[in-house]
Amino acid sequence: MNIFKEAAVDIAGAIRRLPLAGVLGWQDVRQRYRRSAVGAFWLTISMGVVIATIGIVFGQIFSSPMEQFLPFLAIGLILWGFISAVITEGCSGFISAEAIIKQLPIPLTVHMFRMIWRNIIILAHNLVIFPLVLIAVGKPLTWAAVVSIPGFVVLVLNLLWVSLLLGTISARYRDIPQIIVSALQIVFYLTPIMWMPHLLPERASTYILDANPAYHLLEIVRAPLLGQMPSPENWAVSIALAMVGWTITLGFYGRFRRRIAYWL
């Protein structure tokens, strides 16, 4: 069978089993916070404290108006938490599902769908903070926020191929997750999350923003929620990244999918 077709068949089978992935992802969240009075909202509380602390300190350092900086920081940290969690957990997506993979004949991509759904649930809990921040600074949510929905779809499509690719490689080479965690820390500081893009000199923005895929992926979701529109460049880079990434991932995953169970 053609490697692209083999990968496509596995993914199509996983899509047909989305209810299973949904149940497993929901159970993961429930199990993690079992017997906790607040449950997953502990993450919301923790994120809220981080946003408030960093917002006050860095807002003073950068002399930024709070009505601009705090919403920017809040949605940036919330989305980055989602992005980094999906990528790091994607590296161990197959490894953590070793028992199921060796016992049940279900498409392997189900485990990536499960992981992404689990993190979407956590993201939904953290998003509660954003409207509270908007109310606190007196900034309204505009109709532009609707554009963040297709932006989020493009973001998830990119995160899915990244997770599938890194999960396959990590099943064979167990040092990859540690490398990715270190790399994500560097990307975090290079991406405008705790600092605003206009603070960069014009020459530096060419290298730090335009050549940074994480910035474009973040911006297609963040900008609409802040009442702005993503630039055509943001959309072009994000969509092109999805197309190229999926082409590479389908070929790689299709070739090595059958070996994953033996690598675990």
pLDDT digits (tens, 9 = 90+) for 164-205: 999 999 999 889 999 999 999 999 999 999 888 877 777 777
Using CA atoms, how far residue 112 sits from 20, 32, 109, 149, 230, in Å, is: 12, 18, 5, 21, 28
Confidence category of residue 4, pLDDT binned at 50, 70, 90: confident
Residue 143 has pLDDT above 70, yes or no: yes
Alpha helices in the chain (DSSP H): 3-16, 18-32, 41-61, 66-91, 93-96, 98-103, 109-126, 129-137, 148-172, 176-190, 202-205, 213-225, 232-256, 260-263
Residue type, 219: E
Report the 10 Å Cβ neighbour count for 138. Answer: 8
> What is the band of 53 on the pLDDT scale with cuts at 50, 70, 90?
confident
Overall average pLDDT of the 16-38 stretch: 82
Model pLDDT for residues 85-123, shown as the tens digit of each residue: 999 999 998 888 888 888 888 888 999 999 999 999 999
- 41-61 helix and 129-137 helix, angle to the nearest 10 degrees: 40
Q: Compute the mean pLDDT over every residue in the chain, rounded to the nearest whole number.
A: 88
Burial class (CB in 10 A: 0-12, 13-18, 19+), 161: buried
Domain that holds residue 186: 3-28+37-261
CA dihedral sign, ordered 21, 22, 23, 24: positive
Question: What pLDDT is recorded for position 40?
Answer: 67
**What pLDDT shows up at residue 25?**
87
Query: Taking 70 as the threshold, does the pLDDT of residue 139 lie above it?
Result: yes
Share of residues in the chain with pLDDT > 90 (%): 47
* Tally of domains in the chain: 1
Q: Tell me, what's the pLDDT at 207?
A: 75
In angstroms, the Cα distances linking 67 to 8, 54, 198, 201, 224 are 46, 14, 16, 23, 16
